[in-house]
Structure 1
Amino acid sequence: MRCVICKSSDIQMKKVEEEIEIGDDIILIPVEVLVCLNCGERYYDRKTMRKIEETRIKLMRHDLKVEEVGKVLRANVA
């Protein structure tokens, strides 16, 4: 397999944190995906995409516990 972005063949399975946005919140979930080690492009299989979508639905229904690990603040500068 070659990366569609940079054409590198240096692609490996890695555990990454995928971001799911629910309202103003960003929730991180661990998933395993193929990652190009040259440019960082990620490749998701059907099973992983299904897991992400099922997790999104559970989060929207409040069926999963989440742990607050920090806050992001925004400064409005003119």
Structure 2
Amino acid sequence: MNSIPFEKCPVCGGDLIEKQVEKVLRGGVNTAVLKVCAEVCLRCGERLYSQETVRKFEQIRSKLERKETAEFQEIGVSYQVA
């Protein structure tokens, strides 16, 4: 993930590794569970997301608020709506 500007965790200074993680997003009364890549601190568990991933989160939250769950596949992330 070359768009993450940190070599070490900005919270504790620990080493970061790239991992696939689950992220829960809520919009209105709807919830989506996403699987995305993040840089994760080995010491404290802090997660750092790329700017592109954060933009996708914002798009999905907006769609959840409008109940447009059918369009998530276009964004390019795995999801489940709860």
The TM-score normalised by the length of structure 2 is 0.67
- TM-align CA RMSD: 1.8
Of 19, 34, 44 in structure 2, the residue corresponding to residue 29 of structure 1 is 34
Structure 1 residues 30 and 54: CA distance shift in structure 2, 3 A: same
1:25 to 1:61, Cα distance in 2 relative to 1, 3 A: closer
Structure 1 or 2, whichever has the larger Rg, is 1
More helix as a share of residues = 2
Work out the percentage of aligned pairs sharing the same amino acid.
36
Q: Which has the higher contact order (CA 8 A, sep 6+)?
A: 2
Match of 1:38 in 2: 43
Structure 1 gap segments, 5+ residues each: 69-78
Matched-pair contact (CA < 8 Å) for 2:69–2:81: no
Matched residue, 1:2: 8
- In the alignment, structure 2 segments of 5+ residues that lack a partner are 1-6, 71-79
Shift in alpha-carbon separation, 1:32–1:21, aligned structure 2, 3 A: same
1:60 corresponding residue in structure 2: 65
Aligned residues: 67
TM-score calculated relative to the size of structure 1: 0.70
